[in-house]
Chain A
Amino acid sequence: MGFNVLSLLIWLPVAGAAVVIGLPRRRPELVVPVAFALSVLTLGLAGFLVFDFETANGGFQFIEKTAIAPDLGIDYHLGVDGISLFLVALTAFLFPISILASVNVADRRKEFMAAVLLLEGALIGVFLALDLVLFFVFFEVLLVPMYFLIGLWGGERRLEAALKFFLYTALGSAFLLVGIIFLSAQANDQFGSPTFNYLELLNLDISRSAQYWLFGAFGVAFAIKVPLFPFHTWLPDAHTEAPTAGSVVLAGVLLKMGTYGFLRFNLNLFPEATVQLAGFLAALGVFGIIYGAAVAIVQPDLKRLVAYSSVSHLGFVVLGIFALTSQGVSGGVIQMVNHGLTTGALFLLVGMIYERRHTREIAAYGGLQKAMPWFAGFFLFTAFASAGLPGLNGFVGEFLILLGSYGRYPVLAIIAAFGVLLAAVYLLWAYERVFTGEPDKEENRVLSDLGLREVGILVPLVALVVLLGVYPKPALDRIEPAVERVLDRIEDRTDFEPPLRIDDIAVVPAEDDQ
């Protein structure tokens, strides 16, 4: 390896933030192009990463390691595997789009773009860190730019939403921090030297009761991020009040830190507790699916509707992960990416209409497809993808999750399947109220349709939605070895048996489409 691609992925956006802040105040027109160029460069690096990634390898690749504080066992330690690979790619993909969607931010534009770029670097860091302290640092520090994004450029109730977001997440992190410290103290007892190295901590022998406590400490932090019912109450406020770029990043990537955390840390470090508690968490996930969907149906505010739909979709991911089967977990990983794309697109669409009419009330619209046919088309397409229409990406993830969880939790899987139905209800009903019928309000008749920039923002998203829908094999090929490794580990360490191997019938749907 000639260069440290992982470090570059993290530090290029961070350096970019400094560059943007350093731009002369007299040249405000430079801010967006520079920020955009930097985020596209980061995307290029992520693309290189995806193509240079060894497909059949389930372990960590591109590892970088330097000691920071040897006495304490803290390292600068990065690596990527099939699970984190696509989350990094998704992050790098959504940021240029978010930046392009925010060109109309007039107030303190430099600071806005700098915060967005800092957020990008920290998010990529979360997915790449293999040292628990480093992970925690990225996990916690990204609250700061996000807090400012909501608090400075958000909607009317932004202060309340920003504070709620910060406090909820920080409360979870407090337990996470103590859990991390406790793990390193255990390492000190067992290995004779403290370490925060994830790969070394995997060899710890943790007693069953300690596993429960640690699972709880890590789990609370991640459950708040996901968010799992009943920790979800920060989400609708934060998503709704955040500026469009903030909502896209929140829903698209930030929530995935929770499900990623469960998959990376809880399943691997505390296998016994995982096996015991999997049913409970899967049930919470299913409850979230139905609850989120039911609440989304009755939302009068379009952005809140999309926000609650995230609670529902992330419930699927949790169900898939805690099904502890190959299909379920792989489906969960790919569904994280899918949700990032479709919900990101939905937030972008809501942002575009908000810029025109300055209201998010569904009741204020009606008959929009007359004035904005392109917009209506994109919205309907995204709604279908989000609702899991076969041939689009949402279907692949949800199908795999339901398939993977049916063998272990048939009842939960059946209930969850109703969530797919409810998604169609809230999305299509919203479409009906906003777009169909006669435009009875004068302002809605004269709205301009999407401009070139807006179409340019949406087209890459749509292309990926279709690509992952019809040909997910390249993605699954990279994800599955890493997932198998997690599950093998759980089977080695516990008396857990996979319910019934349905590998033979679970041919990935992509195979059919080839």
Chain B
Amino acid sequence: MTEISYLAVGPVAALTLGVVVILLVEVTWKPPTAWLGAIAGVSLLGGFILAVAQWVEASDDPIIRFRGMLALDPFAAFGAVVLTVLGAVALLVAWPLVVEQGRRAAEFIALVLLALAGMILMAAAAHFIMLFLALEVASISLYVLAGFNRHRAESNEASIKYFLLGSFASAVFLYGVALSYAATGSLSLYDTAEFLGETVLLDSAALLAGIGLLIVGLAFKVSAAPFHMWAPDVYQGAASGVSGFMTAGAKVAGFAALARITVTSYGPYISDWAPAVGAIAALSVLVGTMLAIAQSDIKRMLAYSSIAHAGFILTGLVAGIDGVPYVWFYVVTYAFQVLGAFAVVSVVSGPSGAKSPLTDYAGLAQRAPVLAGSLALLMFSMAGIPLTAGFLSKLYVFREAVDAGYLWLAVLGAVASVAGLFFYLRVIVLMYMSPNGEKSPAPTDIRVGDPVRLALTSVAVVTLAFGIVPGPLLDVVTSALPF
């Protein structure tokens, strides 16, 4: 039995290979952008197939490889499957932006693929150092993507803000790792779990401080309150075409990492960390909802709503390992929804633009029925109206919270979802019922390109299909558990 497993790094290798080929091809032949897209598509497809192979292999026999560095388990495989699909949809959404970049398109695509590789590793890491490296690979790629439009001040501001606060969060995370190591003497997630399972710590202060700092570091990455300050500025400042990917990808990977370390390494200490997670969840739901109501720019509104959704997802995590499947269900369906919402924004307000005032959406139903219909569906889903995935996600996480004894958190979440209707419905009202739209003399038609149309269709299918027939996804997520 060898410690090396090529399958364990398969999806990451496929993506990294794609990055190398894209950059080499670009400097050698300067091909048309479409070719680069095709290469990215092939490497994503390869990553996807290998991720499915991981799933098949690991569901019988989960295992840790590379001397305790990487887990080859259903949890990691599912993360890789989701992230490769998400990456493909994100590239479709960003395609008008990519084309706009001209000769810099290759860098852009390479950064997206690199960020994805980092995110996949975050879901698979079984060792704190590996996790930290993965986190940095993903984060640094995202910092650059946020500031990719270097001629625009908002874009630079977003990038700097993201970088400074992000590095700070990474430092906090690292400090947490150090304290945890001091308390347990191990950097492996699984050795830590084993140690804590069979040892009674006389003084657990260092360990608890370490867990706390780890949670804070990752709460920052998933933009949970009170560590959310950067999110609205960054999502608004970044080009609309890529904000959705930044939100969705960071959420999937961040929650995967958070779920794995809390339920495996610190599983025995659930009664200590679950209240902290519950408090962050409650605060995120409240802050995100309240501040979203006050926004007049749709990107900022979506950013604050993503903070509220981070809170809802954390609501499922207070149940520990029992809640993990439903955290998956929520984060996966939400990732596609937020990607779709930003896709609509990138069409309506331009793929490279930063500002997208809500007034742009007045009468959109007449100008672009497809966009308005998709956005309305996504708004209903994010608001948690039944027959959409958003409703079932909320139902499941609330149920887990009630089962775990956090009834107050479920009540708070349910009431906050009602308050959330204010801003979700406002978008729908503007698009469908706005008198402005009827008055404008010659409403300009908005052209929706084929890649974006394809992306929106897939997002709508995911949102509706898993909202009406959740069975297949539930079957998968209930077995997508960490080793």
Contacts of A166 in B (CB 8 A): 421, 425
A-B CB contact pairs (8 Å), 21 listed: A69-B471, A69-B474, A71-B474, A72-B396, A72-B399, A133-B395, A137-B391, A141-B385, A147-B425, A151-B429, A151-B433, A158-B433, A159-B429, A162-B433, A166-B421, A170-B421, A178-B398, A178-B407, A181-B398, A185-B402, A185-B403
Expressed in whole angstroms, the minimum distance between the Cβ of B30 and any Cβ of chain A is 47
- State whether B429 touches A163 (Cβ < 8 A): yes
Is A429 on the interface with B (CB-CB < 8 A)? Answer: no
Expressed in whole angstroms, the minimum distance between the Cβ of B368 and any Cβ of chain A is 16
In the complex, what residue of chain B is closest to A143 when comparing beta carbons? Answer: B385
Interface residues of A in 155-179 (CB under 8 A from B): 158-159, 162-163, 166-167, 170-171, 173-175, 177-178
In the complex, what residue of chain B is closest to A150 when comparing beta carbons? Answer: B433
- State whether B386 touches A136 (Cβ < 8 A): yes
Q: How far is the CA of A151 from the CA of B470 in the complex (A)?
A: 31
In the complex, what residue of chain A is closest to B426 when comparing beta carbons? Answer: A163
| Chain A interface residue number, banded | 35 or more
Is B69 on the interface with A (CB-CB < 8 A)? Answer: no
Q: How far is the CA of A174 from the CA of B421 in the complex (A)?
A: 12
Task: Please tell me which one of the listed residues B422, B433, B470 contacts residue A152 in the complex, with CB atoms under 8 A apart.
Answer: B433
Is A287 on the interface with B (CB-CB < 8 A)? Answer: no
Is A148 on the interface with B (CB-CB < 8 A)? Answer: yes
Contacts of A133 in B (CB 8 A): 395
Q: How far is the CA of A158 from the CA of B402 in the complex (A)?
A: 38
Report B215-253 CB contacts with A as 1/0, cut-off 8 Å.
Answer: 000000000000000000000000000000000000000
- State whether B471 touches A175 (Cβ < 8 A): no
Q: A171-B415, A188-B403 are in contact. Are A152 and B385 (CB under 8 A)?
A: no
Interface residues of A in 129-143 (CB under 8 A from B): 133, 136-138, 140-141, 143
Contacts of A138 in B (CB 8 A): 386
Q: How far is the CA of A144 from the CA of B387 in the complex (A)?
A: 11
Q: A68-B471, A140-B386 are in contact. Are A181 and B402 (CB under 8 A)?
A: yes
Q: How far is the CA of A143 from the CA of B471 in the complex (A)?
A: 25
- State whether A144 touches B395 (Cβ < 8 A): no
Q: How far is the CA of A236 from the CA of B132 in the complex (A)?
A: 59
- State whether B402 touches A174 (Cβ < 8 A): no
20 additional A-B pairs beyond A175-B411, A178-B411, beta carbons within 8 Å, are: A68-B469, A71-B478, A136-B386, A137-B391, A138-B386, A140-B385, A151-B433, A163-B425, A166-B425, A167-B418, A174-B415, A174-B417, A175-B415, A177-B395, A177-B414, A178-B410, A181-B398, A181-B402, A181-B410, A182-B402
Is B163 on the interface with A (CB-CB < 8 A)? Answer: no
Q: How far is the CA of A188 from the CA of B319 in the complex (A)?
A: 15
**B contact face: mostly helix, strand, loop, or mixed:** helix
Contacts of A91 in B (CB 8 A): none
Is A184 on the interface with B (CB-CB < 8 A)? Answer: yes
Is B432 on the interface with A (CB-CB < 8 A)? Answer: yes
In the complex, what residue of chain B is closest to A189 when comparing beta carbons? Answer: B403
Contacts of B432 in A (CB 8 A): 148, 151-152
| Chain B interface residue number, banded | 20 to 34
Expressed in whole angstroms, the minimum distance between the Cβ of B426 and any Cβ of chain A is 9
Q: A68-B471, A178-B398 are in contact. Are A144 and B380 (CB under 8 A)?
A: yes
**A contact face: mostly helix, strand, loop, or mixed:** helix
Q: A163-B425, A171-B418 are in contact. Are A177 and B398 (CB under 8 A)?
A: yes
Expressed in whole angstroms, the minimum distance between the Cβ of A246 and any Cβ of chain B is 14
Expressed in whole angstroms, the minimum distance between the Cβ of A77 and any Cβ of chain B is 16
Q: How far is the CA of A317 from the CA of B433 in the complex (A)?
A: 36
- State whether A175 touches B386 (Cβ < 8 A): no
Interface residues of B in 365-407 (CB under 8 A from A): 380, 385-387, 391, 395-396, 398-399, 402-403, 407
Q: A144-B385, A171-B418 are in contact. Are A69 and B470 (CB under 8 A)?
A: yes
In the complex, what residue of chain B is closest to A182 when comparing beta carbons? Answer: B402
- State whether A181 touches B395 (Cβ < 8 A): yes
Which residues of A are interface residues toward B (Cβ below 8 A)?
A: 68-69, 71-72, 133, 136-138, 140-141, 143-144, 147-148, 151-152, 158-159, 162-163, 166-167, 170-171, 173-175, 177-178, 181-182, 184-185, 188, 194
Task: Please tell me which one of the listed residues B385, B386, B421 contacts residue A167 in the complex, with CB atoms under 8 A apart.
Answer: B421
Give the one of B386, B422, B432 with max A CB within 10 A. B386
Q: How far is the CA of A194 from the CA of B400 in the complex (A)?
A: 11
Contacts of B391 in A (CB 8 A): 137, 140
In the complex, what residue of chain B is closest to A141 when comparing beta carbons? Answer: B386
Expressed in whole angstroms, the minimum distance between the Cβ of B320 and any Cβ of chain A is 16
Q: How far is the CA of A166 from the CA of B399 in the complex (A)?
A: 24
Expressed in whole angstroms, the minimum distance between the Cβ of A380 and any Cβ of chain B is 37
- State whether B386 touches A137 (Cβ < 8 A): yes
- State whether B402 touches A178 (Cβ < 8 A): yes
Q: How far is the CA of A181 from the CA of B398 in the complex (A)?
A: 7
Q: How far is the CA of A242 from the CA of B377 in the complex (A)?
A: 23
Expressed in whole angstroms, the minimum distance between the Cβ of B361 and any Cβ of chain A is 15
Expressed in whole angstroms, the minimum distance between the Cβ of B425 and any Cβ of chain A is 6
In the complex, what residue of chain A is closest to B394 when comparing beta carbons? Answer: A177
Closest 6 CB pairs of A and B: A174-B414, A137-B386, A141-B386, A185-B402, A170-B418, A171-B418
- State whether A182 touches B417 (Cβ < 8 A): no
Q: How far is the CA of A177 from the CA of B395 in the complex (A)?
A: 8
Interface residues of B in 421-449 (CB under 8 A from A): 421-422, 425, 429, 432-433
Give the one of A72, A147, A174 with max B CB within 10 A. A174
Contacts of B380 in A (CB 8 A): 144
Q: How far is the CA of A65 from the CA of B61 in the complex (A)?
A: 37
Q: How far is the CA of A182 from the CA of B432 in the complex (A)?
A: 37
In the complex, what residue of chain A is closest to B386 when comparing beta carbons? Answer: A137
Contacts of A167 in B (CB 8 A): 418, 421-422
- State whether B478 touches A175 (Cβ < 8 A): no
Q: How far is the CA of A162 from the CA of B434 in the complex (A)?
A: 13
Contacts of A184 in B (CB 8 A): 399
Contacts of A140 in B (CB 8 A): 385-386, 391
Q: How far is the CA of A194 from the CA of B355 in the complex (A)?
A: 47
Task: Please tell me which one of the listed residues B414, B469, B470 contacts residue A175 in the complex, with CB atoms under 8 A apart.
Answer: B414
Q: How far is the CA of A170 from the CA of B403 in the complex (A)?
A: 23
Q: How far is the CA of A129 from the CA of B399 in the complex (A)?
A: 20
